[in-house]
Structure 1
């Protein structure tokens, strides 16, 4: 939701539910009125500025300050009341505001979203709780699919003695999914919820440095008992391994499968992009690809989808003018524009339109460029085939044969050029491998 939407919702809720018990703090139950009184504020005096949930110059290279921005007016109490699924009111307000956002999407007809919900891995009950929230409040929309994001915060859980090792965290995340897959009748709510989940994301501050280099010598998850957080590649590999096994099982049983689409390459080591190249279906951001022409070429050859969010990056890690999206697009990488926390990085009720409008104006993108980005966006999403048929019935075919210009507005010559160039590059590699194999060994 936008900042203005959240502000209006808080004020509207206060008007209707001021005397409702919404928070339990230190064993004491508090009404909405008491919460605001404790914070020494009147919700009707709040403005978008005083709500203070917008990331700016002070969040640049400061992920901690970015995380703090999720607290409206700097108050964690308001975050728990309005932006959590598991609280004193069973996430009712959060569900209501999501349904309002979904209603706007449905009104616009051709806009779809894949919001994130978090599973932390501190307890195996998280999934059942989340599924119950989803079913109870009927948080369903034909214009929404859900992504599950898993924050890389094992070290916090270990320090609080919530998990004895990394294996327990993995079990808490994936074991309930295997149970619901094998016995849907016993886990009906989770089974239904998983039908609306399109994939998994791995999130946290990528710029955090780890002294450990993941290799075959690395301790197994059950042996990772130190307080240190495993490196990025360790998280990615074990998430990929579990998702792959789960997908194979669900496919055999005729159930939906999940994509693996981690945040990757926004900051930190270039090895993150190597890990994701080997394991991920899509990645988000991918800024550091511009530092490695070889990796860039591999991502191009494999056409790994990259969802980029220049406005988000502009507030966190990279100035807008230095963002490589236009270069990636012109080179033929499969890039799309995506919002990332509209509440923090966008000002209007149309955050995706902001991304497209600013990119088109700043980089002087042609209509064909913008439409190609939009087409890529649909292709790399977790939406079902019926929805993707908006691109044309043959959208799965390569080159111009898979492009319906009447629906995508992408020129056929552009699609033909993209396909021909990619085929030529792949043939160069095949020829090189053949000639290498035929060359006699020199003594």
Structure 2
């Protein structure tokens, strides 16, 4: 195995754009700019990036006489410098905004090679990322029918019969065949060797100096272009929002795209719930410890605690200074009062009381979501891979407690803890974890009656996540890695090793589920919060979107590729502030300005937030610290709906009938409160960048990716 590549070496010589942001502003002070000439287009149609060549020439003609008559009122003299700039610099207006005609001029050989490498990386992503054969808005009738059934009775088993498919696990990946006697694999997936070879190609591209410089330049250009857009159009956007009836930030849909279920409530809510249970059910037998069964009252007596003693400070679940760069201490905050037994009783679903307390507090949180109406959430809940029965336990907990809500969907998170289970003797190889996680999913897909509760639960599951401390050192995988059944040592596999085998099995599973008319599951891992940039390279190739991604600030090549591919980033600045990155250094604002597909999420309200509405709290802090406008907030909220796993019918209701169309034709300001001016700018800018990279030789899709 090769040694890991330092993140610093990848970006050596590339500065942070924030350090140089004054460069554009200084140049702008030396030019004459006539604002009056920009009033022509209507409020809804205007977009800086969509200016035509004739409009630019009109500006040039009107700007020269204006400059000639531009007299400094303090000294009574003509501004000769302004006249010189306007008359003698033919590229003056192009410096403000490059003409579309100049965008595709043939570059030099060096630039052509850079663009070729970028195109190869984008094509590799298209090779791997799973897409449904038929987009949900095309099979609209079927999707709406399923959504209607689910809303009326989410626990109705339906009419799903067993199929003749046969499957078996080979080399860590489940292979599916039409029947037991068939030998032709139905849904072949790229091999591990192929994937690691392609990932190393992306890593090599990231290390090429010319590519780094080019991507850094383009990212700077995107950032400054947005600043110019705000200078010209901020007032127009504000007026457009004022003219949209009924809608404002409070009553547009906002999805919490990244929140862990065990921490979905705030600390005051959990404290109130614990006190309530201690008062109403003190004699409930809740745990088996040290050879005896204990009631809730006896548990608190053994801890020398009473309900009166309890307060949020004693509960001690909030992150503080001690958790910064200490993921281990942050995880300990899941233990109320520092006691693991209280976590087992109140925050676990596989305990003596079968997770009844956790189900009850979950229902209270879901009721709060439904009361707010416009806030939605995607909860992550853990499957550890220690045994196959975990799936049935989790599904039975979900179904028996009827935890369905129209305001929430669910993701499965797999903690990357192979080394812990191996040292405990729970598993003997990495293959055991893959068997325990994926075999039940294929069983229930082939024959829903084999795991009826799991079948119902999977109808609400939209994604698959991988979680753990990314800052732990790891060895970079080579293209000749041991197979999962050969991985018997006590070292944890690298992030990309986990990612590939989760991707490969989900790819095959999704193909099978789609062929049977069942909902699919997307790969949406934690990625790029800390650790090596390898994680982000693997995420770029395999994932629909990722959580965090703050390390993109260290690698301009991947940063630019994530922009071009519009990979979704569910960012949590307040969570990062407690763990890895101070709030004022968080790259969220820079990512947003550059046009990245970013949304805000809470991550861990129990440890991070103080109010009853943690998602609004996240937006509020971001708005005040970074001076985000109402248009900015609504655009971020709109992104969150696109990133989410909610079904087509819901998204159409929340965003508009043509939400799947790119650009302003897919936007309905009466639903999203985002002006077409902003959407046009984002779309035209992205389209021009893509055409520049592909030298105008690509046909961009009219629909968003699904």
Normalised TM-score (structure 1): 0.97
Distance 1:57 1:349 in 2: 23
Cross-structure match for 2:498: 235
Which of 555, 577, 587 in structure 2 is aligned with 1:292? 555
Cross-structure match for 1:331: 594
Q: How does 1:239-388 map to 2 (within 5 A)?
A: 239-388=502-651
Distance 1:265 1:18 in 2: 44
Deviation (angstroms), 1:432: 8.3
Which of 25, 32, 53 in structure 1 is aligned with 2:296? 32
Distance 2:431 2:697 in 1: 41
Distance 1:127 1:270 in 2: 32
Which of 650, 657, 667 in structure 2 is aligned with 1:393? 657
Distance 2:322 2:506 in 1: 37
Q: How does 1:93-108 map to 2 (within 5 A)?
A: 93-108=357-372
Q: Deviations over 1:142-186 (max 9, x none)?
A: 111011110000001111111111011011001100000001012
- The alignment of Structure 1 onto Structure 2 pairs a total of residues equal to 433
1:197 aligned onto 2:461: yes
Which of 169, 186, 201 in structure 1 is aligned with 2:450? 186
Which of 388, 401, 405 in structure 2 is aligned with 1:137? 401
Deviation (angstroms), 1:327: 0.6
User: Any idea what SS the aligned residue of 1:248 has?
Assistant: helix
Deviation (angstroms), 1:44: 2.1
Cross-structure match for 1:19: 283
1:224 aligned onto 2:487: yes
The answer to whether the 8 A contact 2:279-2:307 is kept is no
Distance 1:48 1:349 in 2: 14
User: Any idea what SS the aligned residue of 1:431 has?
Assistant: coil
Deviation (angstroms), 1:139: 1.3
The answer to whether the 8 A contact 2:317-2:334 is kept is yes
Say which structure, 1 or 2, has more relative contact order (CA 8 Å, 6+ apart): 2
Distance 1:219 1:375 in 2: 43
Distance 1:433 1:154 in 2: 46
Cross-structure match for 2:321: 57
Deviation (angstroms), 1:116: 1.2
Distance 1:43 1:151 in 2: 33
Structure 1 gap segments, 5+ residues each: 435-443
Cross-structure match for 2:438: 174
Deviation (angstroms), 1:43: 2.1
Which of 295, 312, 332 in structure 2 is aligned with 1:68? 332
Cross-structure match for 1:438: none
Deviation (angstroms), 1:45: 1.3
User: Any idea what SS the aligned residue of 1:44 has?
Assistant: coil
The answer to whether the 8 A contact 2:409-2:645 is kept is yes
1:122 aligned onto 2:374: no
Q: Deviations over 1:64-106 (max 9, x none)?
A: 0000000000000100000000001000000000000001111
User: Any idea what SS the aligned residue of 1:145 has?
Assistant: strand
Q: Which runs of 4+ in 1 moved over 4 A?
A: none
Normalised TM-score (structure 2): 0.61
Distance 2:592 2:323 in 1: 28
Cross-structure match for 1:402: 666
Larger radius of gyration: 2
User: Any idea what SS the aligned residue of 2:695 has?
Assistant: helix
Which of 40, 43, 63 in structure 1 is aligned with 2:307? 43
Distance 1:85 1:282 in 2: 28
Q: Deviations over 1:368-423 (max 9, x none)?
A: 11100000001100111122121111110000010001111111011111111111
Distance 2:266 2:444 in 1: 35
Cross-structure match for 1:437: none
The answer to whether the 8 A contact 2:691-2:697 is kept is no
Distance 1:215 1:199 in 2: 28
Cross-structure match for 1:441: none
Distance 1:127 1:195 in 2: 14
Distance 2:694 2:297 in 1: 69
Deviation (angstroms), 1:433: 8.2
Distance 2:450 2:444 in 1: 7
1:149 aligned onto 2:405: no
Distance 1:432 1:266 in 2: 35
The answer to whether the 8 A contact 2:409-2:461 is kept is yes
Distance 1:251 1:305 in 2: 23
User: Any idea what SS the aligned residue of 1:112 has?
Assistant: strand
User: Any idea what SS the aligned residue of 2:378 has?
Assistant: coil
Cross-structure match for 1:422: 686
Distance 1:370 1:400 in 2: 18
Q: Deviations over 1:237-291 (max 9, x none)?
A: 1111111111000000000101111001100001110000000111000000011
Distance 1:320 1:102 in 2: 29
User: Any idea what SS the aligned residue of 2:411 has?
Assistant: strand
Deviation (angstroms), 1:12: 0.4
Distance 2:631 2:367 in 1: 30
The answer to whether the 8 A contact 2:545-2:569 is kept is yes
The answer to whether the 8 A contact 2:278-2:297 is kept is yes
1:3 aligned onto 2:267: yes
